[in-house]
Every structure is written in C-alpha cells, then in structure tokens.
A and B are shown apart, each in its own frame.
Chain A
Amino acid sequence: MPNCNIKKLKRRRICAGDLNIRIILKTRSTVAPQTTVDFGQEFTITKTVWAGLETTGGRDTFYVTNLDESVGHVFYIRWFTGLTTEYWIEHQSENYDILKVENLEERNEWAICYCNVRGSKSQAVNNA
C-alpha cells in the first residue's frame, strides 16, 4: 500500500485572550488650507478594535517625536476588509504609522500591523 505523507501547513493564529488593549484605527486625509498656503492633515476615526501589542525595538526620541523609522511596535488584530498601510493606529494617545500589513496566511482572519511609533498625537509633527 502506498504511504500517505500528510503535508503539515503552518497555521499561525492569535489567542483572542491576548487581544488585551483597545486601539483606534484612523485614516488620514489632507485638508485644504484656509488661512495659509500649507495643506493640513486630518484624521478620521474608522473603528476601535481589540489588539495585542508586541514591541520589537526601542525609540530614538527627539523632543516629542520618534526619529527612528524602523518597526518598533507590532499590533495583532482581527482582519477586516480594506485594512491597508493607509491606516494609522492610535494607542495611548500616540500615533503609529503602519508600515506593513500582513494578512496571516491570507486567511482574512488575523492581521499583523508592523508599525513605527510617531509620538504624541497632539503634536502635528507626529502626523507625518
């Protein structure tokens, strides 16, 4: 009889219990200038979701912003259609720029957002 070799595929997933923080997902758009020649930026809150957070590096902070542009924070969330790097994350009043979005095994179940922390959302420099 022929032997069957079962091909084991990796099926990574996150425990729902590890989603222990609430984060805000928001989109960014430019705002036409009213009194100056500079375009402004405006965030629109899209949704608030449960997330898990893993830090992978430290910060290189100058004044109120992070100078390092590498991934230092990884957020794990439930996948939702339309999630792209155009989104920004707000957590504990800080802005996080999503550099990459990984749709885990393309199953549309879990998303990993690789982020660069910008800094306090109240500082305009951290919106860029």
Chain B
Amino acid sequence: MCLAIPARVIKINKNIAEIESLGVKKKIDISLLPEVKAGDFVIVHAGFAIQIIDSSEALITEGYWKEYFAETGDEYEEMFIAESPEKDDVQ
C-alpha cells in the first residue's frame, strides 16, 4: 500500500502548501511536517505530505522518480500563464 509521489513545495499558507509534481500543482495538507519549507521535496500520500525527501540520495533522484527531480526551469511557469480552460457555467 502507500501510494505516494514526490512533489516540490512551492508556497505555504499555514497548514496548506501548494506543491508541484511534473507540472501538476495541487494544494495539500502539511500538518504532519511542521518543519517543511518552500523549496523542499516531500512525499505526498492522499493529499498530505508525510515526509521530507532527502534529494541527495541517488536512488531517489536517479531512479524510478528521476523525472520528478529533473531541473524544472521556466517551462512550468509558462504553462500556468497559458490560457486556462473555459469555465463551465453549469458547474
């Protein structure tokens, strides 16, 4: 069990952090990691960060999840400036 994926913490507002994984952003709960800060990589399980990742570990950054730790650069910023989806009036 324990489906969890790596994510980078972008910004924090009290116990909610906005994280980003491969260009996907989401707000998650960081109550379980009081010491986490923006820029940290965390493991996210069911909407919560459960541990800070030590990204000096080769098995993490060069293994199965290496895509998640590749340099992100400006490409993700551009992605969010791009046109957002049309609002569905009925939703």
* A-B complex is real: no
B interface with A by C-beta (< 8 Å): none
